[in-house]
Structure 1
Amino acid sequence: MAKTLWPKSSSARVDSALSAHSVMGLVISAILFVVCLSGAVAVFEDELEWWEQANVAPVESVSSAVLQSTAEEVLRRDPETTHLYLYPPRENWPRFIAGGDNGIYAVDKNGTFVRPLEANWNEFLIHLHYYLNLPESFGMIIVAIFGVMLVSMAISGLLAHPRIFRDAFRFKRQGQPRLAQADLHNRLSVWTTPFIVAVAGTGAMIGLFTIGALVFAQTNFDGDTRKLSEAIFGGEVIEADDTPAPIAGIDVAVEQLANDAPDHPPFLVVMHEPGQKSQHIQFYVDETNRLIYGETYTYSTEGELLAIGHNADGPAGQQIAMSMYRVHFGDFGGVAMKLIYFILGLMLCVIIAGGLNIYFLKRREKGRAAPRLEALWSGWIWGSTLFLPVTLIGAILGLSIGWLVAIYWIGSAVCSLAACALTSAAMAGNVLRLALGAALMLCALIHAVVVGGDWSNPYILLSSVSLFVTGAAFAAWPFLRGGFRPAVVGKDLSFTPGE
């Protein structure tokens, strides 16, 4: 028998090592699940942000004169800002938002400032997906690493299934629980592979750009990341001059843009160095049938075209960089594409949950069941999902972002640990699904009472109805599946772990 470099280990030591390995796998999968779940919900970040402030009336269009007067009011409210941001209403998005570096406001069609734009839950959600609520530089690197891992798992999974195309539409729901789970996991993985590679790949690229920018700036731009950014996306087109000057020219530039780029209304107007002699106006406009975030046109306050960004026809690297955001969040193709991204995102969450379920079922078959780990996993899956609507209720009632972060992570951990200590995976899943349904319905009801809003606005109405109907479905699910019936001796009526 060949000798091995590894010392002989007792069965107890092997079991301890396997348990540690299982816990590490749980931690990695748990974090990946949160990233994917928050990303699926964040597809509707614009709609949810408006829903949080439902008492802001829609704005279909604004004139160039209103844009000019709004910019003047922003500078009056925020005289220290170095940029002004105006988001005019556009097709399928009837809102007018404006602000500076230190505050953003909802504005009506006449340029009257309605209220500060404060959507704490939406901001919490985006920070959760981008950074896992960690310090931003560190958190984005961690999320990017998980994006790389997800792409690797998708590719390795495809290579591990030689009959992938022949079995693409074969689905066994009956039979051994492990085989049924494996079949569901494999089929969803095959169908969603293009989505997984595109979304996880762009997410990883967005995150790893932070690392790459630091390294590349150090080796090529003396550590100046601003110079690197200007080399990729373009820099200031007017030499800085901080001589005070009255803010002007947005109305003139808007009219000139209509001549230079007809049928391309701006979705973002940025005034650089407002109130200074070197102030100038940059427009972001949609490029039809392109994935780039937008083409840019920069004008002087006299309406002279100073620069075009060439995001649509510039170097390939620039076009790719400018396409990352829309590909990652499905911000193209309107609400229908967002809905498709949301469904595919939830399917990805099912794939992640199913991967651990298969592992636990294999252990059962080999006589090494880990019921406590199964319950821990089930508690995390449904607990981390439950505390999204719980934090949304907290935001509606006025809790700050710091409180939302604490409630989400502590609440999710408590659910997981309580399930591990007190109950089975199946019962934990049923109880938490019921709680999830109740929380979703409460979101819609509490929002209607506390926030109110214009119910003729389809964005508000559809958001509330969707929350309530989804909540009712989750609340009814355990009862429809008989999840709360007592188990019969010798017969297991529970669901598979984390189902």
Structure 2
Amino acid sequence: MASSIWPKSSKARVDRSLSAHSVMGLAISAVMFIICLSGTVAVFEDEIGWWENPASAAVETVSPATAQTTARNVIAAQPGTTHLYLYLPRENWPRYVAGGDDGLQTVTPGGELSGEYETPWNDFLIDLHYYLNLPASFGMIVVATFGVMLIAMAISGFLAHPRIFRDAFRFRRKGQARLIQADLHNRLSVWTAPFTIVVAGTGAMIGLFAVVALVLAQTSFDGDTRALSEAIFGEEPAMDETPTRLAEVDAALLNLSVVAPDADPFLVIVHDPGTAGQHVSIYGEHHDRLVYGEMYNFDAAGNYTGHTGFSDGELGQQIAMSTYRVHFGDFGGLPVKLAYFVFGIALCIIIAAGMNIYFLKRREAGRPMPGFEAAWSALVWGTPALLTLALLAALVGLPAVFLGWLFWAGLVAASAACAVRGNAIQSGALMRIILAVALSLSVIIHAARFIPSYTNPYIWITSAGLLGLGVCVLSIKGGAISVRAPRQALRPAD
């Protein structure tokens, strides 16, 4: 018989690992589920933003001359801005957006500012995943801490199951409800482990960067955080606020095509525009690399002054600039994004099944918790339901600042009400109905607002997909997740 690749574990170590795994799971599952689900949806943030507000015409390419015209228009609209941004169209984002310190606007193919760039639901979604709608610096550290704990959960889960690889394809669909849930939890955990560790690790790196930066600044840069920032992101030229004409963005773009013909520009930044100290940075995408982009620098006349080294500099610098794309699957096009979405849903199921196992064990021991079971079922299905209700609210005009309050207040109220009711199956069914109705109403209202945009296949395909998702949700039976567990397993005790 072939020996297992997993090292032998003593019963004491297995018991300790299982205990640690269970305790961490109980402590973090609710918030972790929200982070993972919002992140799964946020994989499509560019596409969602385009669907949410497709009022402006699609823009496929922007010429250097048009970019220069846009830059002048931004300065005319925001004369005091300290930075000028031009977001150029990308493969999955056929939009042209520009602005400064006072906000962004959509831009016509000719370079004219055409209106505020407003995607309140998309902004809310990103704020939820990045910060849990908490103040940014604190919220990012909180989310990153959960990323670290998710890695710990994955490791402790492996240590608690010495036969986890040998049983990798064992999945019981009939029989005791707890064993069905355990197989689902364990099998998906094995299959998605590389994804989970990579995504959780990169998320933790992104979120804890501020903390790590403070430590590195003290240990390696004599407490100078500016020196650390310049070591990673490049040195800023000295400021000179003497007024002068706007930098030549068009010349910089033309020169980029010469010095880096393989770099696909997607973001132009003019630092201190209209001053003698102004300079231009252009982020160019390298499609064969994981780095977010290389930053090419130009003076006010558009002359090339060098690049920062994100693509060929120090290894740590390259790793730091690759974490975003690895975390969100922003590489490899639509197939990779779809794969991230599937793995993200699997991770959400793992979390839901883990809590189901806990509740079923308590039932078997004669200590059921029907109120908590119902609250958990309400949270699992209420999270997507409240996300969709927030989308519906955004489409009817509710500002982004209120969407977070709607989501959290609604989720807490739904979970509390279902806990009082104490029926997990009914709670899940009710939340699924709300989710399906909200999806349908969102598509109807979207179509009424943006019917001219439905000549774009992407828009109506997305809407059709949302309607199809609503139908699929209504077809799901059972408790917190879609498994054929016996109904009595999740029913309140008599």
Return the TM-score normalized by structure 2: 0.90
CA distance in 2, matches of 1:394, 1:327: 32
Q: How does 1:392-471 map to 2 (within 5 A)?
A: 392-471=391-470
What is aligned with 2:261? 262
Deviation at 1:246, TM superposition (A): 0.8
8 Å Cα contact 2:247/2:270 also seen in 1: no
Post-superposition Cα deviations, 1:388-412, rounded to whole Å, max 9, x if no partner, equal 0000000111111221111100100
8 Å Cα contact 1:376/1:419 also seen in 2: yes
Q: How does 1:100-179 map to 2 (within 5 A)?
A: 100-179=100-179
CA distance in 1, matches of 2:436, 2:290: 36
Q: Taking structure 1 as reference, are residues 334 and 71 closer, same or farther at Cα in structure 2, changes over 3 Å only?
A: same
Q: How does 1:33-44 map to 2 (within 5 A)?
A: 33-44=33-44
SS in structure 2 opposite 1:477? Answer: coil
What is aligned with 2:198? 198
What is aligned with 2:292? 293
1:75 matches 2:59: no
Q: How does 1:89-100 map to 2 (within 5 A)?
A: 89-100=89-100
Q: Taking structure 1 as reference, are residues 26 and 377 closer, same or farther at Cα in structure 2, changes over 3 Å only?
A: farther
- Which region of structure 1 is more displaced relative to structure 2, 211-220 or 77-86? 211-220
What is aligned with 2:18? none
Deviation at 1:279, TM superposition (A): 1.2
- Which region of structure 1 is more displaced relative to structure 2, 213-222 or 152-161? 213-222
CA distance in 1, matches of 2:491, 2:260: 56
Post-superposition Cα deviations, 1:59-90, rounded to whole Å, max 9, x if no partner, equal 11111110001001111111121111111123
What is aligned with 2:304? 305
SS in structure 1 opposite 2:57? Answer: coil
CA distance in 1, matches of 2:213, 2:491: 42
What is aligned with 1:84? 84
8 Å Cα contact 1:357/1:497 also seen in 2: no
Listed as ranges, the gaps of 5+ residues in structure 1 are 1-21, 484-490
SS in structure 2 opposite 1:270? Answer: strand
SS in structure 2 opposite 1:235? Answer: coil
CA distance in 1, matches of 2:64, 2:405: 44
CA distance in 1, matches of 2:491, 2:59: 48
Deviation at 1:474, TM superposition (A): 1.0
Deviation at 1:111, TM superposition (A): 0.7
CA distance in 2, matches of 1:386, 1:81: 40
What is aligned with 1:333? 332
Identity of aligned residues (%): 54
8 Å Cα contact 2:425/2:479 also seen in 1: no
What is aligned with 1:5? none
8 Å Cα contact 1:426/1:494 also seen in 2: no
8 Å Cα contact 2:247/2:280 also seen in 1: no
Return the TM-score normalized by structure 1: 0.89
What is aligned with 2:283? 284
Deviation at 1:270, TM superposition (A): 0.9
What is aligned with 1:226? 226
Q: Taking structure 1 as reference, are residues 40 and 482 closer, same or farther at Cα in structure 2, changes over 3 Å only?
A: closer
Deviation at 1:492, TM superposition (A): 6.4
Tell me the matched-pair count.
Answer: 468
**Residue type at the aligned position of 1:362:** K
SS in structure 1 opposite 2:289? Answer: coil
What is aligned with 1:14? none
Deviation at 1:378, TM superposition (A): 0.9
Post-superposition Cα deviations, 1:11-70, rounded to whole Å, max 9, x if no partner, equal xxxxxxxxxxx9996552111111101100111111111112111111111111100010
Deviation at 1:302, TM superposition (A): 2.4
Q: How does 1:234-249 map to 2 (within 5 A)?
A: 234-236=234-236, 238-249=237-248
SS in structure 2 opposite 1:454? Answer: helix
Deviation at 1:263, TM superposition (A): 3.3
8 Å Cα contact 1:66/1:110 also seen in 2: yes
Deviation at 1:220, TM superposition (A): 5.1
8 Å Cα contact 1:64/1:255 also seen in 2: yes
Post-superposition Cα deviations, 1:186-220, rounded to whole Å, max 9, x if no partner, equal 01101110000010000011111111123333555
Post-superposition Cα deviations, 1:267-315, rounded to whole Å, max 9, x if no partner, equal 1111111101121111111113210001111111323211211111111
8 Å Cα contact 2:130/2:139 also seen in 1: yes
Deviation at 1:382, TM superposition (A): 1.3
RMSD over aligned Cα, in angstroms? 2.2
CA distance in 2, matches of 1:441, 1:223: 54
